[in-house]
Every structure is written in C-alpha cells, then in structure tokens.
Structure 1
C-alpha cells in the first residue's frame, strides 16, 4: 500500500470516528473501501492504449480522473475498469476515488510517465 493510500485511509477512519455524535452509529458492515489500481504497460508510449486495472476493495462506485500534472483535468469516467490513450509524451496524474454503499470514501493516485 502506498504512503498516499495509507494517509487517506488513516484520514478517512479518523474523520469517521471523530465526527460522529455520541448517539450516532457508523455502519462498517460493507467494510472500509480501499482504492487501488495498477496499469499496463508500465512505460506507455504516446498513442498507445493503457489499461487500468481496478484493484479496489469494498467499493461500489468508482470515479477516475486523468489530469496533466499542472492540475488541468482532461478526462473523467465512472466505469469500474478504464482504458485510455495518452496522445502526448508527458506526465499525467491518474486519480481513483471509490465509495461504498455506506458512503465511505477512499482515493489513490499515481503519476503516469508517457514517453515518445
């Protein structure tokens, strides 16, 4: 598990535990979602299709975002799995945000280095 994922998981659990009122119960019957993905090929070339494999656990909805590293979003999807063609050699940030049926959220991101 990456440091970013661990941080968000810790932050999520802390937020849930410390934001509840005394008489309010937290529903963990669906488990805490954990966002995770891998992609192939590891070093994609511009114009090549990249396949993102969703490895998330305890999630029901998915939101993918692809952005230039400067933060400008260029693509979004709510599909469970994702394929995408990067047109230019550049670094891109890919975010995956997952939610379970109880409303708990987890996210992770990775930088994809697209070469010529």
Structure 2
C-alpha cells in the first residue's frame, strides 16, 4: 500500500516539462495538470542551484524527480519541481512563495521570463 501511494504521489507531482509564453510559465505534470505562474504574480526569477544539503521537508528526493517542500540555507523554504540541480532556476512570487524548477537551457528560460516581466 505504501509503495502504491508513493508511486501515485510521484505521478501526481512529477514535472515533465516547462514552457513559457507571453503570459505565463507552465510546469507540465503527469497526472495533476499544469502548474501556471502568471507574470503578474512573479516578483523575480534567477538561476539557482539547490544545495545537496537542502532539507526535504515533504516530498521526493529523486523518485520521479525532486518535488515537494525543501528548505535551503541560501533562499529558505521553497517548493521544488526539478530533475537536475545544475539546470535549475528559482521563481519568487509576490506572495513570497518560491519555486525551484529545472529544464534544459535554463539560462535562456530565465532570460525569456525576465524579458516578459518588464
């Protein structure tokens, strides 16, 4: 039962891809649909490399990627949707929530988002 629940949770939160258009940034997930961040809600975005010593408060430490709540000594608490730490960036919302996301070409993604925030 525990294995089945862990697998379902993994499939629910598992990040598949990240896209950005002129209105928002979207994290495409397997079972739960897209997580959308409108540019009007985003305060800042920058590259970020989660430390290996980040504390996982609740979530997965590699099963279907890294997802869940983490606490990092550098930025504090955040919700993570990432596969590779070296390809990550952080979105900080105006309500002080933070999300760490990874994708291929993360530097270009950050530049694209920053250009749309202006």
Relative to the length of structure 2, the TM-score reads 0.29
- Greater RCO (Cα-Cα under 8 Å, separation 6 or more): 1
Task: Choose between structure 1 and 2: higher strand proportion.
Answer: 2
Q: TM (normalized to structure 1)?
A: 0.30
| Structure number with higher helix proportion | 2
Larger radius of gyration: 1
